[in-house]
């Protein structure tokens, strides 16, 4: 099997962001279907065609995606969708970039009417390559379309055998789901991977990874295709995170970098400074606070948490903190100097930075524990300095009273 060439054809790029997104999502759907069927494959974008699938021991699958807002329109015999695709494939074959045995697919949101080229080249019993060839030859001779003139000339220049071989390799998939409706098919493919109430969370995270992988592939060149093994690994990882004893951790949250300026007025920052914590550790506290707050918010929005689960977790943290706070206070005894009070605060703060209290058994991200403590510190439910409430109570802004 010939691997996809890395040089791009003149027709590789789409005309709009929607077109690129549709290609990426269409390839995602096709990849999920291939994965379901146990196939091992590589996916390339913008090389020999919009999307290329390479499977060990098989011919290449080249796919062109055509998205139209008016999906109810018919795909006519002189449609530029058909003839632009033909031109790409004919030139690719002539330049030896597209192997003669490659399978060529045109996926379009438009409709294939009866007795048309699109209908003749569909899958199933209605496929009729002989009728398709007759119709193509007639259009190439009689049509006056200026848009298709170069494609007509190329097609007419082929021998009868070359035309027959080309047509035999083409499949047109009409009435494909639009960008607004492809979600339904994607969800259907993943419906049995997790519990029904978690399918949306799985789809959102897996597709986010896929789109990011597509972007990396386009930036780094076609030498770095997306593999079925990568997709399967991501699917398995997210599926594990959506089990009852786990929760998903989103990379864009857990890897986020946060500036301290926006948090200078927050109570938990004042708590750290009251304990005389150095600036790098205060910045780490801000980072953990943001990550825990944002990740917990996502879990709540997606209904991934049980009723009362966060309340129970926070009660546990408060109880663990209280025991540590009292034990440390006992060890210090009567403290007259502020330096002693700050030393006690730093010891408790050190404990918080090393604490590991999991929300669920497999939620082992330390930032969730540390950040949750800082969220509690922001409400003065926990603290580090022995006088944290007396000194910082004024920072808590009471809720406005309704008129």
Q: Quick one: 337 and 361 in the same domain?
A: yes
Which of 269-273, 315-319, 398-402 has the least mean pLDDT? 398-402
Provide the pLDDT for residue 298.
97
Is 7 a member of any domain?
A: no
- Split at pLDDT 50, 70, 90, the class of 71 is low
Is 400 a member of any domain?
A: no
Is 5 a member of any domain?
A: no
Q: Quick one: 162 and 93 in the same domain?
A: yes
DSSP at 361: T
191, 218, 241 - which closes a domain: 241
**Cβ neighbourhood burial of 265 (10 Å; 0-12, 13-18, 19+):** exposed
CB 61 within 8 A of CB 105: yes
pLDDT digits (tens, 9 = 90+) for 119-144: 999 998 889 999 999 999 999 999 98
Give percent above pLDDT 90 in the chain.
Answer: 81
pLDDT value at 8 more than 60: no
The mean pLDDT of 252-263, rounded to a whole number, is 94
Which of 90-99, 219-228, 292-301, 342-351 has the least mean pLDDT? 219-228
pLDDT value at 1 more than 80: no
The mean pLDDT of 295-319, rounded to a whole number, is 97
pLDDT value at 104 more than 70: yes
191, 220, 241 - which closes a domain: 241
Provide the pLDDT for residue 15.
45
Provide the pLDDT for residue 11.
42
pLDDT digits (tens, 9 = 90+) for 387-403: 999 999 999 876 555 54
Which of 118-127, 199-208, 370-379 has the least mean pLDDT? 118-127
179, 207, 241 - which closes a domain: 241
pLDDT digits (tens, 9 = 90+) for 11-22: 444 446 787 889
Q: Quick one: 187 and 309 in the same domain?
A: no
Provide the pLDDT for residue 28.
96
Q: Quick one: 235 and 257 in the same domain?
A: no
DSSP at 98: S
Q: Quick one: 176 and 268 in the same domain?
A: no
Q: Hey, which residues does 51 pair with through a beta bridge?
A: 45, 63
pLDDT value at 92 more than 90: yes
Provide the pLDDT for residue 221.
63
Question: How far apart are alpha carbons 143 and 160 in whole angstroms?
Answer: 19
Q: Quick one: 338 and 234 in the same domain?
A: no
Q: Quick one: 37 and 114 in the same domain?
A: yes
For 336, other C-beta atoms within 10 Å of its C-beta total: 7
Q: Quick one: 326 and 287 in the same domain?
A: yes
Name the 3-class secondary structure at 51. Answer: strand
Q: Quick one: 43 and 110 in the same domain?
A: yes
Q: Quick one: 320 and 383 in the same domain?
A: yes
Is 1 a member of any domain?
A: no
Provide the pLDDT for residue 389.
96
Handedness of CA 246, 251, 252, 253 (dihedral sign): positive
Is 121 a member of any domain?
A: yes
The verdict on pTM exceeding 0.85 is: no
pLDDT value at 378 more than 80: yes
Provide the pLDDT for residue 189.
95
CB 147 within 8 A of CB 80: yes
Give residue 279's Cα distance to chain centre.
35
Overall domain count for the chain: 2
**Cβ neighbourhood burial of 360 (10 Å; 0-12, 13-18, 19+):** middle
pLDDT digits (tens, 9 = 90+) for 149-184: 999 999 999 999 999 999 999 999 999 998 878 999
pLDDT value at 361 more than 90: yes
Cα 390 to Cα 59, 344, 354: the distances in Å are 74, 16, 26
- Split at pLDDT 50, 70, 90, the class of 335 is confident
Q: Quick one: 355 and 291 in the same domain?
A: yes
pLDDT value at 210 more than 50: yes
Range of the domain at 71: 17-241
């Amino acid at each position: 099997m010939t691997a996809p060439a890395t040089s791009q054809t003149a027709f590789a790029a789409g005309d709009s962001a929607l077109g690129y997104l549709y290609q990426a999502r269409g390839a995602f759907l096709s990849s999920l279907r291939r994965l379901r069927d146990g196939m091992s494959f590589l996916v390339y974008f913008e090389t020999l065609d919009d999307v290329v699938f390479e499977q060990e021991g098989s011919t290449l699958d080249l796919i062109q995606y055509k998205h139209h807002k008016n999906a109810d329109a018919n795909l006519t015999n002189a449609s530029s969708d058909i003839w632009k695709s033909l031109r790409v494939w004919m030139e690719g074959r002539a330049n030896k970039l597209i192997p003669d045995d490659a399978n060529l697919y045109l996926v379009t949101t438009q409709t294939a009417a009866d007795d048309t080229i699109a209908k003749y080249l569909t899958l199933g019993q209605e496929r009729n390559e002989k009728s398709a060839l007759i119709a193509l030859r007639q259009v190439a001779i009689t049509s006056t379309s200026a848009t298709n003139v170069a494609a007509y000339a190329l097609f007419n220049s082929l021998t009868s055998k070359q035309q027959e071989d080309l047509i035999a390799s083409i499949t047109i998939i009409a009435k494909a789901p639009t960008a607004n409706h492809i979600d339904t098919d994607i969800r259907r493919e993943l419906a049995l991977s997790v519990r029904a109430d978690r399918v949306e969370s799985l789809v959102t995270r897996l597709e986010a990874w896929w789109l990011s992988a597509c972007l990396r592939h386009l930036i780094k060149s076609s030498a770095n295709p997306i593999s079925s093994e990568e997709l399967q690994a991501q699917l398995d990882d997210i599926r594990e995170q959506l089990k009852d004893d786990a929760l998903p951790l989103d990379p864009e949250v857990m890897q986020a970098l946060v500036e301290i300026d926006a948090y200078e007025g927050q109570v938990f920052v004042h708590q750290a400074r009251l304990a005389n914590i150095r600036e790098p550790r205060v910045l780490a506290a801000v980072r953990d606070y943001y990550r825990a707050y944002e990740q917990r918010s996502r879990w709540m929005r997606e209904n991934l948490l049980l009723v009362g689960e966060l309340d129970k977790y926070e009660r546990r943290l408060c109880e663990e903190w209280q025991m540590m706070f009292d034990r440390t206070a006992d060890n210090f005894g009567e403290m007259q100097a502020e330096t002693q009070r700050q030393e006690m605060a730093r010891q408790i703060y050190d404990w918080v930075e090393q604490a590991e209290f999991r929300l669920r058994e497999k939620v082992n991200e330390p930032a969730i524990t540390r950040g949750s403590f800082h969220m509690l510190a922001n409400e003065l439910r926990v603290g580090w300095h022995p006088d944290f409430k007396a000194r910082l109570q004024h920072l808590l802004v009471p809720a406005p009273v309704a008129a």
